[in-house]
Chains A and B, each alone.
Chain A
Amino acid sequence: MDIHMVSIIGAVIAVCFGAIGPAFSEGRAIAAAMEAIARQPESAGTISRTLFVGLAMIETMAIYCLVVALLLLYANPFAA
């Protein structure tokens, strides 16, 4: 198994497991925001804006995994 094989497997694992955590937490955040909007529809604007900012923060974790995967696939420092 050469370094390219290992890089591909590493990229796959990074995206696979890196997506699980953000997916769960984004689901929880959206569920909480839905509940809040259902209770107080008049504050939907503020809630959804805060939700978007929060989702962007959570999503950052998944994006870091994407960066690692991209680096492994296209700019791997060990595969010269």
Chain B
Amino acid sequence: MAGIKIYHLYPDHLNLYGDRGNMIALCRRAEWHNISIEVVPVRPGDKMALSQCDLLFMGGGQDSDQQMVAEDLKKRSSELSSAVEDGMVIFAVCGSYQLLGSHYITGSGEKIGGLELINLYTEAGTKRLIGNAVINCSLWYPTKTLVGFENHAGKTYLGPGLKPLGQVMIGHGNNGTDKTEGAVYKNVIGTYLHGSLLPKNPWLTDFLLEKALAYRGQDFIPANLDDSLEEQAHNAFIKLAGSKKHKRMSTRA
């Protein structure tokens, strides 16, 4: 049986917006596809044997935790960087996504260094970008939609040549202006979307599993799963997010 190892980074600190749901989705679908999966929780200060890791999952954290996480991770940035170049999969949500970039500029203009794994930076915004989001994602051809919920104050800008995860159809995306959402570099995927993201976008879950297997030199042989429930939930969400009536209802105090 094919198998992968998922490193779950700082599960006690990076789990803000239902990130547990992403791990549940990865584990369940791996099980349904007959892929054996081992989840290794990595806690601050733990020795992390990155050579063993196929997929690194980083969730969102509170501001106070974010700094601790950043400092702990920076110690391993060169190791992380070479793993990324080799094709290790990273899936990072919200605060962790920002952390993958070169730097973060705070409200007072202070520049905080990031992990420099991908070419993007984030600056503090004055208004939180909150709400349902739908993006058109070009990881597949033809493209597929991804649906989720975003809630971030930071505005992220992608450097030249870096591809977004998708184009915003509904919502704010990376910065509320350029219609991009998330970023993809090699097998690194960063996004502001939670919701949780993976359960209602099973094709993204399978994409991550497939890439993680490939990194381990194994083929992804998908089982014939009935995803009709997930698909219906996905489509019901798009309808809801696009409905003006629902928008009014969910913004009224």
A and B are partners in one complex rather than unrelated chains: no
Residues of B within 8 A of A (CB): none
